[in-house]
Structure 1
Amino acid sequence: METTPTLKPAKAEIVKQAKAYIEQLFAQQLPPQLVYHSFKHTNTVAKEAAALGEAAGLPPQDLEALILAAWFHDAGYIDRYDGHEYRSMELAEQWLQGKDYPAERIAVVKDIIRATHRDEPRKTELHKLMVDADMSNLGRDNCLADAELLRTEWEATQGRVFSNKEWAEYQLDFLLQHKFLSEAGKARYKDALKDNVKEQHKQLKKIEKKSKKQQEEAEGFAEGKRGVETMFRSTYSNHIQLSGMADQKANMMISLNAVLLSVIITYLGAKTSTLGPAFTKNPVLAVPMGLLVATSLGSVVTAILSAQPDVTSFKWLRRSPQIATNRRVNLLFFGNFTRLSLDHFQDGMHELMRNREMLYTNMVTDIYYLGEVLSRKYRLLRVSYTIFMVGLILTALAFGIVMLYKA
């Protein structure tokens, strides 16, 4: 009776250490724009490599080399995008040498990683299994979702921008041309690959149908779209200007009242000043001076509250349905989206990019929250200016009454 080969405990330890090292390396040094080639992708490739290696009946030492190569195959992305495979080989060699891994086995691991470069030959079984594991997303249910992550990554890092139709056509061509190399890979992924080709066909037809409908309404829609975008641009610009004006006015009141309070406290507390003895000899001066201090204090406090950063947020439950369709959630504002995990934020943004109505809803929500913040700022500013104005009038009247009383 045949048994499936498994890693020996002593050998399995090096694989666990490699996983921990790559996880820490990616967390500290992987550029945040790499939303597809992340630790999640590497972890999946390592699992698929182990499954393919076991299905192919690899000896334990070859299975170990395959899994180690899978963990390190994208490590080079921390330094470069194009040609990262060769940097990955260097990083794997450095780390394995530090673990006193046999030199001949390090060479095997590097050779397997080399095969993941598009221009390198894939001759051995280990080469084919590694490449199949790396491209296993094409034979899984989440193929189309992963493709959107790759599209986003290319736009951010390579400047390669695709329309929805262009991307759907590119993906369909790629799926149709791809062939899994190993027998284990063909057996594991061929059915799902066919299903993904069919699904991509459907996606392309939907996009073409939608594009045709938009072309028929292009004239009227183009004008309407430009008008909507102009409205949003103008509204955002006005909100930013008003917010800047509010902060300037608040800073002016803070500076003025801070100086005024400093001068009053300094002169009243100094024994050598003229106001100090005069205040002691004439207690009735406490009324206007108290009014002036209260005025400055009330005005500066409300001005500070106005200038104080105010971040609107929301409570989100993990059991909530679609993020992007929640009218109270604004994915365009950091006060909202930082409450989400990266995966949920990416899912929501991808939905926004696919649905114009959802995008406009989020922009409207963003304007509403900006308006709430501005309303609070100007309300507090009005209170600050009113306190200052009324306080100065009352202080002047009080001083006048004191002068008449003394006369």
Structure 2
Amino acid sequence: MNYYTLLDEIKQYVTSYFHTHANDKLIYHNLVHTEHVVNAAIEIANHYRLSDQDYFIVVTAAWFHDIGYYTDPARHEEKGAEEASVFLSRKGVDEPAIQTVAQCIRATRLPQNPETMLEKIVADADLFHLGTSRFGEFSKSLRKEFIALHNIDLSKDEWRNKTIRLLESHQYHTDYCRLLLSDTKAKHLEKLKEKQADKYPELKNPLPVMPALEPQQPAKPKIKPLIPEEVDEKGKRKNNRPERGIETMFRITSANHQRLSDMADSKAHIMISVNSIIISVLLSVLLKNLEQFPQYTIPAMCLLSISLVTIVFSILATRPNIPRGTFTQTDINEKKVNLLFFGNFFKMSMDDYTSGMLQMMDDRDFLYRSLIKDVYSQGVVLGSKYQRLRISYNVFMYGLIVSVIAFSIAAIVTI
């Protein structure tokens, strides 16, 4: 089944459905919101490199997840699941996939409680906006829709209270969204609480501002930053960099490098396996019969050499390079060593390593420089891996062409 062609048909169907069932009261749960959820689902799905079928399930659920608002807003998840099931059945999609799509749509029901990875992706995509800069815009649209649908006058203060409770109770279910969106969501919650506290001073204590999803960390000593912070005339910091945002960037970058490294190792393993089979066949079958077919000697040796060179470069791409495994106190004092890479400390004692790590964690500049070195080192290793892997693939591709031509010429000459 061509899932991508079917996704185009689903997009056309849902888009047409929204246009033909236009409802002025649905200011938020409309085609614009659905497209935002689909884009978020695609972003998360691409991050986790889902299979074609799982990707299809996630994106399909995102397209259908709010279509039920036009028939039964109170049970829109169930209606959306039913609508998706009917459409997919007509298109010949197998029943297990249809049921999985339906479960992903039901997983968006509040309070969210997704169980599988696909359900978690769709649930996070539906509330992706809580951790983005467009949170305020979407919140206003949702309030207007709530007032229009329920025909009640809900004040801004009441809506703010509802939103605060939502943000406090909500948590993202995928690691990707937790790392990417939790900081911004926490800032939105903090601003809402500050507005409530300014309007109702007696609520200042009952509504403490806490970071979302993570416990409070003990206060750290002030350390000279990598980039000096400017202070305005009132003594407030002008350059207040998002610390957790920087840490999120390092986590995601490191995870992406690790996935690319795994992909390179997998590709190298494929080349080694394929060419090992070719060499085995050449040695066991063809080379034994060269006396009978001498015209194939040169093509066989050519193919054998090509396979050997391909294997060598594939092995070089995956061969580990281990440093000396030690560091000195001078390296620590001069901030030259990266204690985040095992190759720099695996021969050191536990006490020496612990001492070095504690010194690094107490020095923000040292810590960030180590993180930068770690990301840079991963990139250098990746570059070397992919260069050698590219040589391996090029040798195999062009060598295989030359070998086939050589075998063809030898066969023609024999005739």
More helix by share: 1
Q: TM-score, normalised by structure 2?
A: 0.46
| Higher Cα radius of gyration | 1
